[in-house]
């Protein structure tokens, strides 16, 4: 008889449901891992209300926090920021980046970078850095700067502490 605590967490293969946000004026690229369950339901990036991504980006750009998808796209593109993820698919438990393994993950296509002016790449957390180094670094030829994760699961740092590191993005805009 199995022990009560030996229940295996169910992993599901998730395929990235939407494309990158960029235009020819994009100067920096911010890469996450894979959209969360809430983001997949909403059809856009960082939709969970506890994720601090939009507060961080708005503060970096000196703007109000966007509410709608259109406002979010305007904020990004209006400041030369492209947004995408490192994984095109991966086995993941719920929205836990920590459950993503290289063995069943696939990297996103970044050939569109040639249509932009991107000169700096930032990753949102350590798992995004892992994915970038596994799949995309060889394609871009650029090192990525690892920023503290905007996820609520990264409770070890306050918003103010995270923002101090995220402000480096402003240097490249």
Question: Is 25 assigned a catalytic role?
Answer: no
Q: Which of 12, 25, 51, 124 is catalytic?
A: 51
Alpha carbon distance 15, 132 (integer Å): 17
Exposure letters 74-95 (e unless 16+ CB within 10 A, then b): ebbbebbbbbbbbbeebebeeb
Are the C-beta atoms of residues 83 and 20 closer than 8 Å to each other?
yes
Query: What is the Cα–Cα distance from 23 to 39, expressed in whole angstroms?
Result: 22
Angular region, 30: left φ>0, alpha ψ -120 to 50, beta rest: beta
* CB neighbours of residue 155 within 10 Å: 7
Catalytic residues: 51
């Amino acid at each position: 008889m199995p022990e009560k605590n030996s229940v295996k967490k169910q992993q599901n293969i998730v395929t990235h449901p939407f494309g990158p946000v960029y235009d020819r004026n994009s100067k920096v690229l911010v890469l996450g891992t894979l959209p969360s369950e809430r983001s997949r339901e909403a059809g856009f990036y960082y939709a969970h209300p506890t994720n601090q991504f939009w507060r961080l980006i708005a503060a970096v750009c000196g703007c109000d926090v966007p509410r709608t998808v259109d406002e979010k796209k305007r904020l990004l593109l209006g400041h030369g920021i492209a947004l995408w993820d490192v994984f095109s698919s991966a086995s993941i438990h719920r929205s836990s980046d920590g459950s993503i393994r290289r063995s069943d993950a696939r990297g996103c296509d970044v050939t569109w970078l040639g249509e932009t002016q991107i000169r700096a790449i930032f990753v949102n957390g350590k798992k995004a850095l892992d994915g970038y180094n596994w799949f995309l670094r060889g394609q871009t030829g650029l090192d990525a700067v690892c920023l503290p994760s905007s996820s609520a699961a990264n409770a070890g740092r306050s918003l103010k502490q995270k923002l101090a590191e995220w402000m480096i993005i402003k240097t490249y805009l």
